[in-house]
Amino acid sequence: MDIQNIKQRNRRDNRLCIVIPCYNEQSVLPITSGQFLAQLNRMIAAGKIREDSYILFVDDGSRDDTWKIIRELAQQDTHFRGIRQSRNRGHQNAVLAGLMEVKDSADLSITIDCDGQDDIGAMDAMVDAYLNGCDVVYGVRSSRQTDTFFKRTTAQLFYRLLSFMGADVVYNHADYRLLSARVMQSLAQYREVNLYLRGLIPLIGFSCTSVPYERHERVAGKSHYPLKKMLALALDGITSLSTKPIRMITGMGFVMLLMSIVGILWAVATRLYGYTIDGWSSTMCVILLIGGIQLVSLGVIGEYVGKIYLETKDRPRYIISDRTCEHQQTEKQK
């Protein structure tokens, strides 16, 4: 824990908002919404957070009854609220939309998936760390026992690769985290369209710590992150956090250049000494190898050019189409 500048916060002064992205989760929400509410009420009763703390569901353009369920929940209990994105934009944008919605009215937020995989009980330790002065609290998985061997190994490889690329990410941390209001407000200043929150939050700074938790199986439904989407997220993570791949290509280019100079000298020398033979296969090998390397290099550079293209457009990162409580955005109760 970074203990510099840490100052204890007053209990009972803190309005918490739990931000929960949901996409096609009609089978999950009826089960987990009660668990979230119970946890919120427990923390209110323990005097850790204010009575007007609440849970904000962000419907990420679901096509099933998710929004209907959220609206019903909001009618049943004032601790439930919801916003809805105009269309599906993906988990990262849904989390961002929720954080931007609450940044001015909440003192702290906790983001968590709605499928019950992340241990809801870990919020106690997270809020305690906040009360002790931390601004960012990362929920970190204590083990990956519930994962398949494949997911475990690929995840580990990904973290290794990211740290090799010089990106500062917290090992085994997904998007279960607590942020103070000032971190959310700082996050609002990062205008990038290619979002990778796990990599952005450490860049913001402030005092941080982590809380270990057990990750369970989904309570119902199935994951929205198949291998293809996981790979896309990994690629986004690397290219939005690091330009090292481009530098590696430059390095590779220099090595290839040196090798080809040696090759040219060798070819000229053998020609001069009259040893030339029909070198079809060796020529083909060299052409294929260099062609392949060039294509990969172009692809990597293209990946960055594409990102620049999207960033220069500066399109909105989320669009909210509905709210369960219309005055929510303007209110500021402190």
Q: Which residue has the tokens 């060798």?
A: 266
Nearer Cβ to ligand UDP, position 134 or 196? 196
- Shortest distance, CB of residue 35 to ligand UDP, whole angstroms? 13
Reduce the secondary structure of 167-198 to three states and give it as a string: CCCCCCEEEEEEEEHHHHHHHCCCCCCCCCHH
CB of 241 to ligand UDP, least distance (A): 19
Contact of 207 with 2, CB cutoff 8 Å? yes
Find the shortest distance in angstroms from Cβ 95 to ligand UDP: 8
C-alpha–C-alpha distance, residues 154 and 53, integer Å: 38
Does the protein bind Mg ion through residue 117 (CB under 5 A)? yes
Instruction: Determine, following the binding rule CB under 5 A, whether residue 32 of this chain makes contact with Mg ion.
Output: no
Query: Which chain residues interact with ligand UDP by CB under 6 A?
Result: 21-23, 25, 60, 88, 90-91, 94, 113-115, 117, 223-225
List the single partner that 60 binds among Mg ion, ligand UDP, none, CB under 5 to 8 Å by kind. Answer: ligand UDP
Cβ proximity to ligand UDP, 58 vs 187, nearer residue: 58
Nearest to ligand UDP of 26, 328 (CB atom): 26
**Residue with Cβ nearer ligand UDP (71 or 91):** 91
Selection from ligand UDP, Mg ion, none that 266 binds (CB < 5 to 8 A by kind) is none
- Residue 314 region, left (φ>0) first, then alpha (ψ -120 to 50), else beta? left
The letter for the amino acid at 40 is: L
Q: Provide, rounded to whole angstroms, the least separation between the CB of residue 215 and Mg ion.
A: 9
Of the pair 114, 122, the CB lying nearest ligand UDP is at: 114
> Nearer to Mg ion by C-beta: 221 or 245?
221
Note the Cα 314 to chain centre separation in Å: 20
Ranges assigned E (strand) in 128-243: 136-141, 173-180, 208-213
- C-alpha radius of gyration, the chain, whole number: 25
CB of 72 to ligand UDP, least distance (A): 18
Shortest Cβ distance from residue 116 to Mg ion (Å)?
A: 8
- Which residues 6+ apart lie within 8 Å of 81 measured at CB? 54, 55, 56, 57, 74, 323, 324, 325, 328
From the list 7-15, 31-39, 112-120, 245-253, the region that binds Mg ion by CB under 5 A is 112-120
CB of 174 to Mg ion, least distance (A): 9
- Long-range pairs for 282-286 at CB < 8 Å and ≥24 separation? none
β-bridge pairing 320-323 and 80-85: antiparallel
* Residue 115 binds to Mg ion (criterion: CB under 5 A): yes
**What residue number has its CB nearest to ligand UDP?**
223
Footprint on this chain of Mg ion (rule: CB under 5 A): 113, 115, 117
